[in-house]
Structure 1
Amino acid sequence: MSETMANRSGKIKLAFSKPTKSPEEQTELFGSYRSFGYEGLQLKYNQFMPYLEEPERFMEQWGHLEGAGSGLILGGKLDEEGRAVLRRLFAFAKGIGTERIVFCHLVAREGLTGEDIAGYARILSRLGKEAREQGLRLSLHHHYDQPVMHREDFDIFFGHVEEESVGLTVDTAHLVKSGISDIAEIIRSFRHVIDNFHLKDYANGDWMVLGRGGIPFDPVFRSIREIGYSGWISADEESGGGIAEGLKDCYAFITNGSLIRP
């Protein structure tokens, strides 16, 4: 694995990510993740965008919580408007001490060619270099029905990314939903660019709390250990359940899988 894609502390750090529907839910999430054993949050769009032009306001409200803005998840396009939003996010992220921006590319996969995907890689490479100049990392989150979806898309995209400019966020449930069942092969093959994991379960078309779906996680955990990964792993809890339940159950599942020790 490239040293710049890995966490220099040499250890796995556990984050949590979950949508919230109200200010009260967001307060509960921010106020409880550390007590359940997590070191950070990877924030959804509505949890940071109200502060985009005012990073100092985010810090006033949440800055006392270590890791509260360790990762920011943004969905967008790579047209002129989308690139402008990303650059605004770079400035915000730098202001609150974010390590990584996780980008979901909101373009449908159908009809795209290999050259389209290669072109997106070149654009994101330039943006990734800009992010690095500000002390940030830009990571692509592959996604069902987005440009990097099928197995060959990964080869095309990362075959055209400039070295160390864009990392890869591996999402277990999106791989399976996209028809890629051998998650361990993806982890081994792209070990040099993986800089983040979203662990999520999946069954019957629905996102599930970790351990309650149909994904066999033993090979996933084994491959993460085999590549010597050291960086952020986020429990990406999108099942629709309660915050406290998700925090507790995901932490128990990951620690019982021996990825980290409680």
Structure 2
Amino acid sequence: MFDPDRVFLGITATGWTNDDFPMIGDGIPFEQCVSEIALAGFHGCSVGHKFPTDPDTLRSALSLRGLRVTEPWASTYFTAKDMRERTISDFRRQLAFMEAMGGAEIVVAELGHAVHQQPVALFSNRPVLDDTSWRALVTGLDELGRIAADQGMRLCYHHHMGTAVQNRADVDRLLADTDPGLVHLLLDTGHLRWAGDDPLALVQDHASRIKHVHLKDLRPDVLERARREDLSFHDAVMAGIFTVPGDGMLDFGPVLGSLADAGYEGWLVVEAEQDPAKAHPLTYALKAREYLRKATGL
């Protein structure tokens, strides 16, 4: 299915600790998080707010456990007033960090006017851009993509609930308006399904642009409630909307098969923002790893 020399399985730290809501999993230390990721059998992990910021220190801790960094996150604010230069500066700093860690991808999402970190209804408050703001976003992404490409790296855009690029129509427009050689796509199965769209259809239509994948499942009862009540992102996460692949409603077989048929290479990263007080992190990491072992052969 996938070439094991070219496709790798990772997991984010969001089952243990959460960057958007730092109080979630506040008592779980960095060492426990990465040790359990390694114990579960993953090849790498994302970087969280508890991780060492010095590349040498982090590299040592991860190498001890046989792990690599899957991606760093760089927020962009091209649609916010007077934030362009700071966005570019922050991106360069994260790019240098990822280069020092030996990675190839950097993940970005536009957070100008985003509401996923706010205690407000998600669907009814998420930003919708006018043409001027949209142009600022796509030209800014092309610029960041060129900076990354010049250093042998790839920019991967993460569509995200509560942001200006949330659903399939937003993703289609973003891909149409950005340079395909500079701006690639991070497919997040959970975010796209929550937005009301089909991850498989997106893969079938845009496989060539997908260079990074977050595998996130959903609990159907919580999803229905989140839509019905227009919950905030925080409240939906705390109610358990997300879970690991194989534990929810999504059929990952066709999605993974289509990616494999398209020759996908890179990271397949489990991401399930959960409250560790309700969903024991190592238990769910092991569950995800076993499911993906059967589904991918990796």
Shared fold, TM over 0.5? yes
Contact kept in structure 2, 1:40 and 1:70, CA below 8 Å = yes
State yes or no: 1:106 paired with 2:139: no
CA deviations on 1:60-94 (whole Å, 9 max, x unpaired) are 44454444323112334232322221111112222
Q: Report the equivalent of 2:145.
A: 128
Find 1:165's aligned residue among 178, 182, 189: 182
Find 1:13's aligned residue among 8, 15, 18: 8
Q: Can you give the 5+ residue segments of structure 1 that lack an aligned partner in the other structure?
A: 1-6
State yes or no: 1:251 paired with 2:289: yes
Distance in 1 between residues matched to 2:132 and 2:169, nearest whole Å: 12
State yes or no: 1:82 paired with 2:87: yes
Distance in 1 between residues matched to 2:292 and 2:185, nearest whole Å: 20
Q: Which amino acid aligns with 2:101?
A: I
Cα 1:8/1:222, change in 2 over 3 Å? closer
Distance in 1 between residues matched to 2:142 and 2:269, nearest whole Å: 24
Q: Report the equivalent of 2:73.
A: 73
Q: Report the equivalent of 1:4.
A: none
Q: Single out whichever of 150-159 and 104-113 deviates more from structure 2.
A: 104-113
TM-score by length of 2: 0.75
Cα 1:226/1:61, change in 2 over 3 Å? closer
Contact kept in structure 1, 2:128 and 2:164, CA below 8 Å = no
Q: Aligned with 1:110: secondary structure?
A: coil
Q: Report the equivalent of 1:236.
A: 271
TM-score by length of 1: 0.84
Q: What RMSD, in angstroms, separates the aligned Cα atoms of the two structures?
A: 2.5
**What's the offset of the Cα at 1:127?**
0.8
Contact kept in structure 2, 1:122 and 1:162, CA below 8 Å = no
Q: Which amino acid aligns with 1:92?
A: F
State yes or no: 1:227 paired with 2:262: yes
Instruction: Give aligned-pair identity as a percent.
Output: 24
**What's the offset of the Cα at 1:122?**
1.6
What aligned pairs does 1:205-224 form with structure 2 within 5 A after superposition? 205=223, 206-224=241-259
Q: Report the equivalent of 2:47.
A: 43
Q: Single out whichever of 148-157 and 185-194 deviates more from structure 2.
A: 148-157
Distance in 1 between residues matched to 2:204 and 2:50, nearest whole Å: 33
Q: Can you give the 5+ residue segments of structure 2 that lack an aligned partner in the other structure?
A: 18-24, 115-125, 224-240
State yes or no: 1:184 paired with 2:211: no
Contact kept in structure 2, 1:114 and 1:156, CA below 8 Å = no
Q: Which amino acid aligns with 1:29?
A: C
Contact kept in structure 2, 1:114 and 1:153, CA below 8 Å = no
Distance in 1 between residues matched to 2:100 and 2:261, nearest whole Å: 35
Distance in 2 between residues matched to 1:104 and 1:69, nearest whole Å: 18
Q: Aligned with 1:170: secondary structure?
A: strand
Contact kept in structure 1, 2:214 and 2:268, CA below 8 Å = yes
Distance in 2 between residues matched to 1:72 and 1:113, nearest whole Å: 29
